[in-house]
Amino acid sequence: MRKYFWLSMVLALAPAASCSEARAKDKIKVGFFGFELINTSAEATSDAERRRIARLGEVLAQVLTASGRYEIVPLSAQLQAKIAANANITGCNGCELDYAREAGVDVAAFGTVQKVSNLILNENLYMRRADGAPYFSRSVDIRGNTDESWERGMRYLLRNYFLKER
């Protein structure tokens, strides 16, 4: 009797295991190519703003990974060097698609933060499929130039727009 119990448990759990494996395989692979700071304010870009722009990429990766639907694919050192050597991603005439294909990802992600002043900033996230089709594009305005306001703005954009629409 005990033998049949274990056999039935194995058979019952087998579909669950294969489903979770299938879900892992079905994750959308995302190549993240960075955020660009567009400073149109009268003030120079600060070191704190440079750290914040890097932190936004970390927040994006954390939220997408935690959703269970996306996998952030690490970029090779060669591709990172190529990205760093070229123009800003927002002005490179579609280079993110070439980068996405080279990285072997489904979706290219990048963004901007426009600083109008220390009070008015705008965070933008752009995502395109590697074949060039639009995937997601959204913007949020934030008030205040602090670590907290930048991160809160990105989490809001991802939680209330990206994850709800996808």
DSSP letters, 12-23, are: HHHHHHHHHHHH
Q: Is the pTM of this model over 0.85?
A: no
More confident site: 92 or 49: 49
Starting at the edge strand that comes first in sequence, how are the strands of the sheet with 70-72 ordered?
70-72, 28-39, 107-115, 120-129, 134-143
Question: Which listed CATH number (3.10.129.10, 3.40.50.10070, 2.60.120.560, 3.40.309.10) goes with 27-165?
Answer: 3.40.50.10070
- Side-chain half-sphere CA neighbours of 19 within 13 A: 5
Query: Does pLDDT of 16 surpass 90?
Result: no
pLDDT score, position 24: 53
- Residue length of the chain: 166
Q: What burial letters (b/e) apply to 61-74, b meaning 16+ CB within 10 Å?
A: bebbeeeeebbbbe
**Token pair for residue 144?**
């205040």
Look up residue 86 and give its DSSP letter.
Answer: S
pLDDT on residue 108 = 98
Report the distance separating Cα 153 and Cα 166, nearest Å.
Answer: 19
- Hey, where are the domains in the chain? 27-165
Instruction: Identify the bridge partners of residue 139 per DSSP, sorted by sequence position.
Output: 124
pLDDT over 80 (residue 166): no
Q: 31 near 75, Cβ under 8 Å?
A: yes
Mean pLDDT of 79-85: 91
**Does 20 score more than 80 pLDDT?**
no
Q: Is pLDDT at 83 greater than 60 in this prediction?
A: yes
Mean pLDDT of 63-71: 97
- Among 22-36, 90-104, 141-155, name the most confident range: 141-155
| Confidence category of residue 93, pLDDT binned at 50, 70, 90 | confident
